[in-house]
A and B are shown apart, each in its own frame.
Chain A
Amino acid sequence: MDILYYLIQNMLPVAVALLLVALGGMFSERSGVINIALEGIMLFGAFIGCVFVFFIEKTPLKSQPQMILLLGMVVAALAGLLYSMLLSLAAINMKADQTIVGTALNMLVPAGVLLFSKMFFFSDGVTTNTNFYIRKIPLLGDIPVLGKLFFQNTYLTIYVGALLLVIATILFYKTSFGLHLRACGEHPHAADSVGINVYHMRYAGVGLSGILGGTGGFFYAVGIMNGNANGHTGVAGFGFLALAVMIFGQWKPLKILLAALFFAFLRTLAYSVALIPFLRALNINQTYYKMLPYVATMVVLAFTSKKSRAPKAEGIPYDKGMR
């Protein structure tokens, strides 16, 4: 039982990073822009957020790590938003090929992070000392079972993530903004004909993916990398995994949540093999477990892609003149 608690406690910070980034991808793709750049956006958010933490933890604020986390999150979200604008500019205004632009943006961040970290921090990235870890939340942590699952040995990120999921779902389904956004990804000309500005909606979609991607990247740095970000390992393909999560989740928020939990579980399992007697007894090289999330992605995609329903206008630059 303790192992189960351990797995779930460790899974949630991973899941929340995947969830937020996949939700970001969903907003972008449902508005009609393929966002391969999520990996780069994540690392950019993670790095800028950690740099912010690095400087602010030297001020008197250092006694309140959770406050720093929230501020760092806002900074990371803004960084992600700014960076995603490079994609919007190219994909929406310049009508460039979205996959290639995304690849370029993914390559730009690690190079920039390495260059500046090597020159200013004399290492591959930025290392912070603030401890964001929460051993136990008072009161809530004492609830039997649930308290142990969700309110012990955890990070603030998972509650913020849950809140953002609720907000994103409401925004996506219950507001006219969400409806307009989805229309632009399905049939932009029809949307245009009823007075929706397709360019603006796509900017909004990509911008939201930047905000969520940057936040998710920072949460990755906090929850998985222990407050560090570096240019070599980056975010270890989480941006791409998030894309797979999004496809597996059929571009729908709640299904994305389930998919994110599934992938996070696999990854946590891979890194906790030594703690689980049953798996340890099998004596399989740990690298196989590390490959598991990627292999699972392939298997899942192989089974779901035939019937997957991607947004119809995704990847096609919108041109008013073409009907």
Chain B
Amino acid sequence: MQNNNHAQKAFSIHKITKSKSFSAFTSALLAIFLGLVIGFIVMIIANPAKAFTGFQTVLFGGFSRLGNVFYFATPILMTGLAVGFAFKMGLFNIGASGQYTMGMFFALYVGFMWDLPDGIHWIACIIAGMIGGMMWGFIPGVFKALLNVNEVITSIMFNYIGMYLVDMMIQGNATMYVASTTRTAYLPTSAQIPSLGVRNSSVNVSIYIAIFIAIVLFIILNKTTFGYELKATGYNKHASKYAGMNGTRNIILTMVIAGGLAGLGGAFAILAPATIQGSSMTYEPINIIAANGFNGIAVALLGNSSPIGIIFSAVFISHIQRGGSLTSLYGYKPEIIDIVIAIIIYFSAFSMLMKSAASSFLRKNRKHVQSEDVDPRINSEGPALKTGVDLPDKEDMDDDVYITDVTDTSVPENHEIKNHGSGSEEDELMKHKGQDIKDSNPAEKEEV
């Protein structure tokens, strides 16, 4: 996030390196880099002879399947938004899988059982999917808001309940389920989302809808009162309650919206037209939790929970997934990408550390002044200083902002109050957005 208040100042490296979105970006890159390196090591262990070719396929294979990269990016973009949106509120929506499955079922149900005219049918299916997901987000929301049950446990339980329920209902429905293939039947064409016409790919209009929704969410988060309250509650739920925000309502609303987003993901995934004329995507009820929900966590973390960042991270994850499935040409299995994704999540959780490491690396060679009027507390705290975050030129920048930055990278929680004084409140909130996850801890610990 560029600091608008200082836009009139000349372009400088400090401006960029100290901005939140830049450090989020570098730490995401670092996580991706480590994930890929470890993925490469796993490939070497699994089969040294073909590791290099296999790894090249992971990196670049997706380019030969661009249409499908975007098709598979659509559902994880939606589940990523579902997770990221709840993160903003300090909620960890691990239940995106269940919401996704529910959305998929509702979309399938309307697709098979309702007879609607051509132009309307697929839209009705999508809306049904959204409603299905909302229902499955609503319950953990109510449990969290009214009964103070940790949303992580609730939504995990609802992943299983939803999965069993959907599989049972599909298997019990003769119209949807074809027992001989153990999969769902082909959807009527009117229920399929219009294709974009890319050859050999299922990419369809839903990718545009998904990107549009991401932009709408960005606006909601940054330009509306609801978005502001949401983020404020994410930073400090006690303070926001004190300020008169309705925490109970906001928690339920956030979970409902997040559930709706994941449900849309399920609908987009299943309503896509298949590459062969007359067929469509099918679902196989074999009691397995939908992986797309968990991939959404990776997408959200990589995108720093920002809707715009999530668009790019979804495309990236989808890209390496396509590459990963192509590695089967060399005897590897697509699961290699799940390993890479898990490791990316693992390192994303270090975001604080990664951010300070990244910025200290970038600032290493800048000359610095240890001026007297630098606040003494900078010296008294901050592993960042010890690990070599050098002080940049003083005249280059605004004092206040600089102090904010150092405290940001080194001391996460208790010192926020000292940072007020630069920028508007809105800016302040944005500066801390990278810490959402961290800050959500105190809120969570009361129940688990």
Q: Which residues of A pack against B, CB within 8 Å? A: 29, 34, 36, 86, 90, 94-101, 103-105, 107-108, 110-112, 114-116, 118-119, 231-233, 237, 240, 243-244, 247, 285, 287-288, 290-291, 294-295, 297-298, 301-302, 305-306, 308, 310, 312-316, 321-322
The answer to whether B153 and A285 touch across the interface, beta carbons within 8 angstroms, is no
Nearest CB in chain B to that of A285: its residue: B168
The answer to whether B148 and A306 touch across the interface, beta carbons within 8 angstroms, is yes
The answer to whether A305 and B335 touch across the interface, beta carbons within 8 angstroms, is no
A291 and B98 CA atoms in complex are apart in Å by 13
- Name the contact of B338 in the complex, choosing from A107, A240, A297, A313 (C-beta under 8 A): A107
* Least CB distance, A38 to chain B, in whole angstroms: 11
Nearest CB in chain A to that of B291: its residue: A107
- Name the contact of A97 in the complex, choosing from B288, B349, B446 (C-beta under 8 A): B349
A-B contact pairs, 28 of them (CB 8 A): A90-B350, A94-B350, A96-B350, A96-B353, A104-B348, A105-B342, A107-B294, A107-B345, A108-B342, A108-B343, A108-B346, A112-B339, A115-B42, A115-B332, A115-B333, A118-B335, A119-B47, A119-B332, A231-B335, A244-B157, A285-B168, A291-B160, A298-B154, A302-B147, A310-B445, A310-B446, A314-B445, A321-B411
The answer, yes or no, to whether B118 is at the interface (CB within 8 Å) is no
The answer to whether A111 and B335 touch across the interface, beta carbons within 8 angstroms, is yes
The answer to whether B447 and A107 touch across the interface, beta carbons within 8 angstroms, is no
- CB neighbours of A306 from chain B (8 A): 147-148
- Chain B interface residue bracket vs A: 35 or more
- CB neighbours of A95 from chain B (8 A): 352-353
A287 and B287 CA atoms in complex are apart in Å by 10
The answer, yes or no, to whether B156 is at the interface (CB within 8 Å) is yes
- CB neighbours of A107 from chain B (8 A): 294, 338, 341-342, 345
- Name the contact of B164 in the complex, choosing from A100, A103, A119, A287 (C-beta under 8 A): A287
- CB neighbours of B94 from chain A (8 A): 103
- Name the contact of A100 in the complex, choosing from B158, B335, B348 (C-beta under 8 A): B348
* Least CB distance, B358 to chain A, in whole angstroms: 15
- Name the contact of B165 in the complex, choosing from A115, A291, A315 (C-beta under 8 A): A291
* Least CB distance, A94 to chain B, in whole angstroms: 5
- Name the contact of B143 in the complex, choosing from A103, A298, A310 (C-beta under 8 A): A298
Describe B's contact surface by its main secondary structure: helix
A66 and B385 CA atoms in complex are apart in Å by 57
What is the count of residue pairs linking A and B with beta-carbon distances less than 8 angstroms? 160
Q: At the interface with chain A, which of B225-233, B419-427, B434-442?
A: B434-442
Describe A's contact surface by its main secondary structure: helix
Q: Which residues of B pack against A, CB within 8 Å? A: 42, 46-47, 92, 94, 143, 147-150, 152-154, 156-158, 160-161, 164-165, 167-168, 172, 287-288, 294, 297, 301, 331-333, 335-336, 338-339, 341-343, 345-346, 348-353, 381, 411, 413-414, 437-438, 441-442, 444-448
The answer to whether B168 and A287 touch across the interface, beta carbons within 8 angstroms, is yes
The answer to whether A240 and B287 touch (CB under 8 A), given A90-B349, A108-B342, is no
A199 and B94 CA atoms in complex are apart in Å by 28
A118 and B161 CA atoms in complex are apart in Å by 29
- CB neighbours of B351 from chain A (8 A): 96
- CB neighbours of B338 from chain A (8 A): 107, 110-111, 114
The answer to whether A314 and B331 touch across the interface, beta carbons within 8 angstroms, is no
The answer to whether B149 and A237 touch across the interface, beta carbons within 8 angstroms, is no
- Name the contact of B156 in the complex, choosing from A86, A233, A240 (C-beta under 8 A): A240
The answer to whether A316 and B445 touch across the interface, beta carbons within 8 angstroms, is yes
Nearest CB in chain A to that of B297: its residue: A103
The answer to whether B342 and A240 touch across the interface, beta carbons within 8 angstroms, is no
The answer to whether A295 and B161 touch across the interface, beta carbons within 8 angstroms, is yes
- CB neighbours of A114 from chain B (8 A): 333, 335, 338
A295 and B165 CA atoms in complex are apart in Å by 12
A94 and B356 CA atoms in complex are apart in Å by 12
A114 and B76 CA atoms in complex are apart in Å by 22
- CB neighbours of A244 from chain B (8 A): 153, 157
A286 and B353 CA atoms in complex are apart in Å by 48
- CB neighbours of B301 from chain A (8 A): 100
